[in-house]
Each structure stands twice: as C-alpha cells, then as structure tokens.
A and B are shown apart, each in its own frame.
Chain A
Amino acid sequence: MDSGIVRILIADDVAMIRDILRSMVTKEGLFTIFETDNGKEALRIYEANTPSIVFLDVNMPGSDGMTVLEAIRANDDSTFVVILSGENSAENVIAAVNSGANGYISKPFSQKNISTILKKYFDSKSTAA
C-alpha cells in the first residue's frame, strides 16, 4: 500500500520531546516526519497524509492522545500507533492497549525504546506481507 519513505506523525505538546523523538527516529532510518502539538491537528494530518506510524502523547491540549487513538481506530486497524506517556500507571497502559495501541513508551524514553518499537513496526509489516 505504502510506497517509498515511511511517513511518521509525532504529536506532543512539548517541543523538546518532539525534537528528541525526531532525532531518535531519524537515527533509525529515513522517514518523512510530520509534527504537531495538539490532538486536533494530529487527526487532520493523519487524515491528510495517512502516516504509517503515529506517536501520540497522552496529555495534549485540545484532543488528548487516547481520544485521537480511538478516532484513528474507529475505522483503521493498520496504522501503527504508539502512545507516549509520563504517567505509567498500569491502568493507562491497559487502557491504551485495549484501545488498540501498538506500543506504549514511557517518558523519559531511550533510543533503545524507539529502536525496539520501530523494529516491532517493521516486523509486523514483514509478517503481514
């Protein structure tokens, strides 16, 4: 379905987090990266650009990450959605997983986390193919 460079959407209200995440992601390969600081914009970009991977911060102004996740999952099972959160209660994790998150990364995250999650994405693509 997708051809060429994998598109990634990063949605987090903190610019620094977006910077860190972007730099970590780009260390793992060549991607087209979209960024936004709020949930509404995230959904708009998602609809306009159909990214393959979406990083969603849980706490964002406008529409939070879980709401965006649910909106995406309403009629799309294939987009790889990763939740970013600073609050790692089991409840949150379970809620995210049950809503269809493909990954859950706690803040602060490491290069290893990002590498692992991208590997999971590519593994899922190769097994699906």
Chain B
Amino acid sequence: MSIRLRLIAGFVAIALLVLTLIGIVVYRLVESVSSSYSATVTSAIVNDYAEMLGNAGQDQNLEDLFRILIPLQHNNNMLFALTDQQGRLFATSSDNKVLNTIVDPFPFQNALEGPGDTGSFDLNEQEIIWTMAEIANRQNLLFLIQVQDDELPSFTSELGNRLLVTAFVVVWIAIWIALFISRRIVEKNQALAEAKKMADEASTAKSTFLANMSHEIRTPLTAIIGYSKVLKDNPHNIDGRTEAIESISRNGLHLLDVINNILDISKIESGKLELEIQTIYIGGILEDINSLVGRMAREKGLEFYLENSFPLPATIKSDGVRLKQCLINLCTNAVKFTSAGSIRIETTCDWDARQIRFCVTDTGIGMTVEQQSRVFEEFTQADPSITRKFGGTGLGLPITKKLATLLGGDVQIHSQPGQGSRFILSIATGDISSVDRINSGEELLTVRPQEKGSIVSRVTGHVLLVEDNLDNQNLIGRLIQAVGATVDVAANGLQAIEKAITYDFDLILMDIQMPEMGGLEATRVIRQTGYPGPIVALTAGTLKEDVQDCLHAGCNQFLSKPIDSTEFYKVLEQFLKSDKTGSGEDQTAVEFDFSEFEEQFTANLPSLRDHLAILVAERDRFGLKECLHDLKGMGATFGFTELAAIAGSIEYALKKDINAAVDDDIKMLFSILDTHVEDSININYSRGHARG
C-alpha cells in the first residue's frame, strides 16, 4: 500500500519535472522564432530635446517626449530609445510603455560608432534594447530603430522569462508540496500499518498466551483424567484406588493453583508478582513431581529417575507452587523432547550458598548453542518447526526462568544436538542452618507435613451457614461442628435474612453465588438490619474486585472455594470464642480428627444399607441416584474412599444410562457396606485414609 503510493508520488514528480523542461524548451524555440527581427538602427544626436520640451523635471520631460514619439512608432514600425545625461536609457516598447532599463555592455559595441551610423542586424528584442543602450552610453543620442518585419516585437520576453522562471519555481514548489503531502500520506499510512501490526502482534501474543495457559492446565488434567480412567476401567481393583484418588485430588489442587496463577502470569511480565514464601517440604515436592512426571515418562516408555545427593534439607523457605511450576515446566519439556531413554532429576543442596539445585537431564533431541540462546525468549521455541512437531507455545521456559530469578536462583542449560539436554534449576532455600538434614530417600518420603489431624482449637458459638449446595452444607457444617460450634443452615439469601433476623449468630458464613438472592445482597440487608457480628464470604471468585465487592457489602473476610480446612479453621478461630471449658484453661489445642464423623457416619450405615436395598428392589433410579450422590460426598469427605468411589461410579452409570456394570457394582457396594457395618459393630474398624 505505502510503496504503491510512494511510487505514484515519485512518478507524478518526475512527470511534472519533465513537463516543465519540455515547456521551457518549447517556449525557447517559439520565442527564438517569433522574436527575431531584422532591424535598421539609426542614431541621431539630440542635444536639445530637453529644450524642445521645456525645462520642467527631466523625467517628466522624457515621458512627455515619449508621449509624442509613441504614436509615431506604430505608423513607422519604429522604436525609439534615448539616453539622458546621467546615462539612463529609455526606450519605448511595443505596448506603448516606457521602458527604463539599465543594461550590461553589449558585444556589438563597435557596430554603431556615432551619429548617423546605420547598421542592419538580425536581433531579438532583447538584443535591440541592449544595442541601443550600448550606443547610448556614450552620448545623448536618439536611436531610431526601423524594424523591417510587419509587426513590432513585443517586449514581453523578459516578462515571459520572468513568468517562466516564476512558473518554473511555482511548479517546483508544487512538486515539492505534492511530494511532501504524499510523503506525509505515506508516513500516515506507515503509522497506521504499524499500529495494525502492533495490534496484530498483541492479538497473537494474547492467543499464544492463552494457548500456553491451556498447556499449564492440561498437564495436571492429564493426571486427573488418567487416574479417573484407571478407576473407571478397573472398578474392582481396590489396591490402586487410594493412590489414584490421592493423585486426582492432589492434581486437582495443583490445577486450582494454576488457575489462580494464570491471573498472576501477567504480573510476572510487569514484575508485580508476589511470592508466597512458606516452609515447603522437599520430599513432598519431589513426590508430586514423581507422580506427575514419572507417569508421563513411563507412559512414553521412558525411564524416570529421582536421584538425591544427601544430605538435603527437610524443608526450605520458598514458594512451593512456583517451584513446582518451574520443575513441572522443565520436566514436561524433557519428556516432550525425549523419544527414547530416560529423564533424570538430581537434587543437590549447596548448604553454604543456601541454594538447592534440581538438574533435569534428558536423552532427547538436544539443542544447538544458537537454539539454547533463544529458548528463554518469550513466544519462541528453539526452532519454529518444533511447534509443529512437539506442540507447546514457548512460554514455559521464559516463565520458568523468570520464576527462578524471583525465587533467588536461575535456570541454566547444557545441551548438544542429539546428546540430550540438562536444565539446572537453582533456587534460594532461605535459612537452612537449623533445618533437619535428610540422609536417605526413605526419610525424604516420611518427613511430611501433618496433613491429617491438623491442630485446631475448639471453639464455641452459633454459626449460620448460608450455602445452597447440599454437599457443601454437609461438609462445611461438619467442619464447623467438628470444632465444637453449632450450625444452622440457610439455603439462600432470603432464608439467611430470615434466620439472621430471628436468631442470634456469632458468625455468618455466606456463600456468594446462590439462587433466589445472592450472598452480597443478603449481606447488605443483614448488615442494615443491625447484625453486628462477623460475616465471612465463601466464594469461588478470587479476583480483587470480588474481594472488594464482599468487603463493600459488609463482609469481614473472605474464604475461597473449594474450602481449605486449614484456612477455614483459622477463620473460625479468629471470629469465634475459643472453647475453654472443653480443653482446659490454657487453650490446649485438640487434634482434629474425623473419627467422630466416621463413627457417626458408620453408625448410620446399616439404615443406609437398608434404604439402598429398598431403592434397588423398587428400581427407584432417581432415589438411588440421590442416595448415592450423598454417599459419594460423605464417603469422600470422611475417608471412606472405596465407598465413595463405587457410589460415584454407580451414580455416573445411572446418570449416563450405562447399565452393563451397574448390577455388579451394586453388589460390590453392598459387600463394602456390609464390611463397614460389621466393622462398626466391632467399633474396631479400619479406615481408608485418604484426605487431600
């Protein structure tokens, strides 16, 4: 577009120039033809012309003289010229004007010597003037120029020349203006094109960014879907269940983290990312990587090794999510680019430098030095063909590099084409001088955070739980009761208002997304009625605006869903009075255990079994589905993973009308139920421990 315009402008300019030059040449030719005259010049002394005209002002006299002479010239084809005493030359022109011209010496100066000399010349009008002037320089002479041609020369050539020059200049100015304007247009067009290009680039960057995010999400989803498939395909294989469910739960949680982090990715770009530095367990990180990457590697037929150079610190101070993100990026890359051989993660700790290093080594395609220099650039991979061959978007490594830097370390590459790659991720450990040293792999796996039986204080108070989802009502209700508080449930905002106005509550837990009336509106009304106690919002939204909305509506705090029990109990402890009657004056914390619920749940199992039997006998699919849904939720919550899994599997089959395996599964369900019922009679039952 712009190049075309530029060409047109250039062409126009050249055309104008050529036209002007042609014009000048033609004009000159025409002029030389039309203004060439044969003239006879006669000079005469006029000593007393002033006398004959009187003694008024000289100039005026001269003009008067011309006034007499001009009518003569037309009749006689003559021109007159005369010089005054100061040597000024005056001549008449064919358009009857007096010319007052001072001219340069003329080359024919010797042609006419004195008064009465006559010569014949072929002259143009300019030259006639010059000739006369040359002679006139000497004395007071009157020249009579007899032109032989029919017409008098018109003394316009000089004017013509001037016009010509003016026209030329004007044309040139016009050309330059045209060029300037066209240039401006071209510039404008270029600017527009650049803006469009930038917009396109931004759009591409955005798409690339989204695509990359989908990669980040897909990775944990792979584990979730994979393990779910294992569960679905082998519903009777009880051995792998716990592991599968644990992995699903863990990867689900990781996915949740990632989704939260997607919002933060742009912060990395703008340097506004805030790290959550916590105490993290190296063993836990490595085990998670093992379960995720190990599985991917094995599926691809690769060997996967975790090698540790002991001693390693049991814990470090870092951001676990980011560290895992870095490791997963490096490891998934390693798996992606390796078709045969092995993936190896070596963990070493430099105790003096307070750095922990993870070397991820693969036996994959490797990289040239030039490719290595580019992999940390955003949106580029080592080679564009890689995208076609291996997928991915090229954001993983740049993000990893940036995160590693934020975590007080770096990422380095050692690689050769065809020889595999080695990525060395180092991060700062914080103060590890007093941290336990781990000297064996076994120790690494056993030193884990206390996930079960977390320490929570008993509290007292009456809590209104506003929540529309039945499973959440059950789960959160039980979490509340577990630490000693009492709970009342409202299923929507309207019920919440009624209950809040009717009863005294020490705390209101308010779900934000609800039918009928949402939590924000209910909170606003409840606050207006004068409820002075704390209101804590429960919501899946985690944006700053969501938090602001909650606080603005009158909530004191904010818990994001799914509920994390540790966070949840922190909030309960914050807003409810601690129960000093139960555990003594010194606020001794009790070890929170689900056994209470398990017992309660188990106690209900016989009636539940009977109820299920009736539903099965009556072929009440709807009732069965509901009952199984509850069983699934409760089972999963309270650690009855087999029960939850089989109930979920039957519920799913019923929903999807897959009848093939339902009967077997129901038999299986009843046999598991029977085991638990017997156990509950013996009290001494064994539990399926699985809680994420």
Residue numbers of A with Cβ under 8 A of B are 82, 88-91, 93-94, 96-97, 101-106, 110, 112-113, 116-117, 119-120
**B501 pairs with A120, CB closer than 8 A:** no
Known: A88-B502, A110-B504. A105 touches B497 (CB 8 A): no
Q: What are 22 A-B contacts defined by CB distance under 8 Å?
A: A82-B530, A88-B502, A89-B498, A90-B494, A90-B498, A90-B517, A90-B525, A93-B498, A93-B501, A93-B525, A97-B529, A101-B528, A103-B530, A104-B501, A104-B529, A104-B530, A105-B501, A105-B530, A112-B504, A116-B531, A117-B530, A119-B532
Shortest beta-carbon distance from A98 to chain B in Å: 9
**Can you add 11 more A-B contacts, CB < 8 Å, to A106-B501, A110-B504, A112-B504?**
A88-B502, A89-B498, A91-B494, A93-B497, A93-B525, A94-B497, A96-B529, A101-B528, A102-B528, A104-B501, A117-B530
Partner of A116, one of B498, B502, B525, B532: B532
Q: Interface code B488-531, partner A: CB below 8 Å = 1, 0 otherwise?
A: 00000111011001101000000000000100000011001111
In B267-316, which residues have CB < 8 Å from any A CB? none
How near does chain A come to B464, taking the closest CB pair, in angstroms? 14
Q: How far is the CA of A82 from the CA of B529 in the complex (A)?
A: 8
A97 interface neighbour in B495, B517, B525, B532, Cβ under 8 Å: B525
Contacts of A113 in B (CB 8 A): 530
Contact B495 A90 (CB under 8 A): yes
Closest approach, in angstroms, between the C-beta of A117 and any C-beta of chain B? 5
B530 touches A102 (CB 8 A): yes
State whether B504 touches A88 (Cβ < 8 A). Answer: no
Chain B interface residues toward A at CB < 8 A: 493-495, 497-498, 501-502, 504, 517, 524-525, 528-532
- Complex Cα gap A90–B531 (Å): 14
Contact of A94 with B498 at beta-carbon distance under 8 Å, contacts A110-B504, A112-B504 already known: no
- The CA of A96 and the CA of B495, in the complex, are separated in Å by 16
Contact of A90 (CB < 8 Å), options: B497, B530, B532: B497
Provide the residues of chain B in CB contact with A106, threshold 8 Å. Answer: 501-502
Chain A at the B interface: SS class: helix
| In the complex, chain A residues whose CB is within 8 Å of the CB of B532 | 116, 119-120
Residues of chain B within 8 A (CB-CB) of A119 are 532
Q: Give complex CA distance A88, B500 in Å.
A: 10
Q: Is the CB of B530 within 8 A of A93?
A: no
CB distance from A78 to the nearest CB of B (A): 16
Q: Interface of chain B, helix or strand or loop or mixed?
A: helix
CA distance A89 to B500 in the complex (A): 11
Nearest A residue to B503 by beta-carbon distance? A106
Instruction: Please name all residues of chain B whose beta carbon is closer than 8 Å to the beta carbon of A90 when the two chains form the complex.
Output: 493-495, 497-498, 517, 525
Measured CA separation A106–B498 after assembly (Å): 9
Chain B positions within 8 Å of A112 at CB level: 504
Question: B504 near A93 (CB under 8 angstroms)?
Answer: no
CB distance from A61 to the nearest CB of B (A): 24
The chain B residue sitting closest to A96, CB to CB, is B529
Counting from the closest, the 4 A-B pairs by CB-CB distance are A90-B494, A104-B529, A103-B530, A90-B497
Compute how far the CA of A91 lies from the CA of B530 in the bound complex, rounded to whole angstroms: 16
Contact present for B529 and A116 (CB under 8 Å): no
CA distance in complex: A88, B494 (Å): 11
Nearest B-chain residue to A116, judged by Cβ: B532
B495 CB → nearest A CB, Å: 7
Q: Which B residues lie within 8 Å of A93 (CB)?
A: 497-498, 501, 525, 529
The residue on B at minimum CB distance from A100 is B528
Q: Which residues of A contact B525 (CB under 8 A)?
A: 90, 93-94, 97
B528: chain A residues within 8 A (beta carbon) = 97, 101-104
Complex Cα gap A82–B528 (Å): 10
A105 / chain B contacts, CB cutoff of 8 Å: 501, 529-530
**Considering only CB atoms, which chain A residue lies closest to B516 in the complex?**
A90
B497 surroundings in chain A (CB, below 8 A): 90, 93-94
Min CB distance B164 to A, Å, is 86
Residues of A close to B529: CB separation below 8 A: 93, 96-97, 101, 103-105
- Across the two chains, which residue of chain A brings its CB closest to B528? A97
- Give the Cβ gap from A39 to chain B, nearest Cβ, in Å: 21
**A89 to B528 Cα, complex, angstroms:** 15
- B501/A116 in contact, CB under 8 A: no
Q: How far, in whole Å, are A102 and B530 apart by their CA atoms in the complex? A: 7
Residues of chain A within 8 A (CB-CB) of B495 are 90
Whole-angstrom distance from the CB of A115 to the nearest CB of chain B?
9
Q: How far is the CB of B515 from chain A (nearest CB, A)?
A: 14
A58 to B474, CA, bound (A): 37
Give A120 to B554 CA distance when docked, in angstroms: 14
Closest to B525 in A: A97
Q: How far is the CB of B503 from chain A (nearest CB, A)?
A: 9
Whole-angstrom distance between the alpha carbons of A82 and B530 in the complex? 9
Distance in angstroms between the alpha carbons of A91 and B493 in the assembled complex: 11
A88 adjacent to B530 (CB under 8 Å): no
Cα separation A112 to B532 with both chains bound (whole Å): 11
B498 CB, nearest partner CB in chain A, Å:
5
Expressed in whole angstroms, the Cα–Cα distance for A119 and B494 within the complex equals: 25
**Which of A89, A94, A116 sits near B530, CB closer than 8 Å?**
A116
Let me know if A120 and B498 touch, CB within 8 A. Answer: no
Name the distance in Å between A58's Cβ and chain B's nearest Cβ: 12
- Within 8 Å CB of B494, what residues of A? 90-91
Bound Cα distance from A88 to B497, whole angstroms: 9
Q: Which residues of A contact B531 (CB under 8 A)?
A: 116
